[in-house]
Structure formats: structure tokens, C-alpha cells
Amino acid sequence: MRFYTKTHQHYCGIDLHAKTLYLCILDREGQILLHKNVRSRPDDFLAAVAPFRDDLVVAVECIFTGYWLADLCRNEGIEFVLGHALYMKAIHGGKAKNDKVDALKIATLLRGGTLPQAYVYPPEMRATRDLLRRRLHLVRRRANLLAHIQNTNHQYNLPPIGKKIAYKSNRDGVVERFSDPGVRAIVQLDLDLIGHYDQLLTDLELQIVKRAIQHDPQAFHRLRTIPCVGKILALVILYEIHDIRRFPTVQDFVSYARLVKPKKESAGKVSGSGGAKIGNPI
């Protein structure tokens, strides 16, 4: 876990939503200078923080609506910190929880040097990373269709298909295995959708590879030289890790990849392990 420990004159905590954001700005002594709700628009945000731009740092919890704010702070030269959502349990620990309280707690964590950091992915490669993650969504939808055909085959106690219907050349005769016209229609629909997903995935993978060659051709080709690392795995490693230098030690990277199980220990007794969902299994 990495904490943001730099000192500033002004600390801004934001509870961010799609339409609104709640601002809380503290000074070095912890006095509240601003505590208000504004619209989630660049002009409104910049106008609110304008009197405090001198040595200002902004922090927000890592959520899906944070892209525009991170890019805005980067373009405006404002220090930006992304809070690790799973580590920021202090926000949810109090009796009361609302936008005003959350913004204050984020600013307090930031000022106290106890705000756990997440990685702010650079916008130059972020869209391609998200496109690669979208590909995974399509792959899972395709896998569900393949599994549905196999389950339908089991429902009617038919002999195993025997071939991997994930390959187009092995799909001939699959529909004819079923005698009921309604079941045939269902299986044919699954096969048509699978064929559509095949084309979508082929085009999408070609587009991602072209972008990878433009972003970092040397890294992509080096990853392909690793035994058992193919095109897709090389893309995943490249875009999920982005820059290996962001990990100070090997131990940090191994922990990020969820290859270790941190112990929960007290008074010499181990009560289990934690952090199973913190990191990126790639």
C-alpha cells in the first residue's frame, strides 16, 4: 500500500458523482476553507478551486467517473491523487455517511498522509486499455453461447459433440443433432451470434494490435518472445502494467499481480490472509 505523503498549502477532497461533486478544501492546519456541492463540469470545478490554486492537491476515490477530472487537473497543472477504493475504508467507517462527510474525510486523509494511492493511468493509452477490457466482455458473452449449446446437448442426452465448436470448421452438423424444430432454432441462433462475435473480435484484436505497435512497438514485440505468451496475453500485460517502473520493487509487482497472500497476524498468531481482491490478476 502506498500513501500520498507530500505536503501542500491546500488539500482538496472530492466526493465525485456523474452529475455533481462535493468539494472540501482544507489548509495546512486542517481548517475548512471550502465545503460545497457543485455540478460535475470543468468550469464549475475550476471556479470553485480558483481562490486556492496556490499549491493545491486534489484527491478523489477511484471510480468510473474520474477520467475527466484527472485529465482536467493534468491539463491545468493541478496535483491529482487517485484514492484506492478498497483501501479507503475509513470513508465508510463512521456513523453518518453522505457526500459532505465523504469529501471531508478524503481531504483529511490527504492532509494526514494516510490516503492510499491508486495508479493514475495516462490518457494516451487509457482508451486502448479500456478497449482491451471491452474485448474480454465480448469473449465472455461468446463463451456463454458456446456453453449454452453444450448444455442443450446434455439436456436431450445426446452423444457428446466431440469437437470444439469454438472453431468455425467444427460447427457443421451441430444444428442437425436436434430433432425438435424449436431446439434447432435456439441452437442456430446461438451459432449465428457466435459467428457475429467471431467477426467482431477479429476486427477488434486487429485494431488493438495496431495501436499497441504505435504506442510501444519494442515492448509488444519483446513480450511476444516470452514462451507461452501470445498476442492477446502480450496485449494484456502491456496495457494493464503500462510501465513496470511504477513498481519500486519486485515484491510490489508480485503483490499487484495477486501472487502473494498477506498474513493477518496479531500477538504472534496468524488468523488468516487478506487482500485477495486487491491488485490486478491480469
pLDDT in tens, 20-45: 999 999 999 999 999 999 999 999 99
Pairing of strands 56-61, 10-16: parallel
8-state DSSP, 91: G
String of b and e for 203-240 (b: at least 16 CB within 10 Å)? ebeeebeebbeeebeebbeebeeeeeeeebebbbbbbb
The C-alpha cell at 179 is 430433432
Residue 60 confidence (pLDDT) above 90: yes
Q: What is the mean pLDDT of the chain?
A: 92
Amino acid at 108: T
For residues 166 and 145, what is the distance between their CA atoms, to the nearest angstrom?
Answer: 10
Q: What is the pLDDT of residue 93?
A: 66
pTM of the model: 0.84
Q: What is the pLDDT of residue 91?
A: 64
Degrees to nearest 5, angle at CA 103 with 63 and 99 = 80
pLDDT in tens, 159-217: 999 899 999 999 999 999 999 999 999 999 999 999 999 999 999 999 999 999 999 88
pLDDT in tens, 222-262: 999 999 999 999 999 999 999 889 999 998 888 888 888 77
- Going from the N-terminus, what domains does the chain have, and what CATH number goes with each? 3-118 (3.30.420.10), 124-241 (no CATH)
pLDDT in tens, 138-175: 999 999 999 999 999 999 999 999 899 999 999 999 99
71 confidence band (pLDDT: 50, 70, 90): very high
* Burial of residue 183 (number of CB atoms within 10 Å: 0-12, 13-18, 19+): middle
Q: What is the pLDDT of residue 282?
A: 66
Whether 22 and 104 have beta carbons less than 8 Å apart is answered as no
Q: What is the pLDDT of residue 258?
A: 84
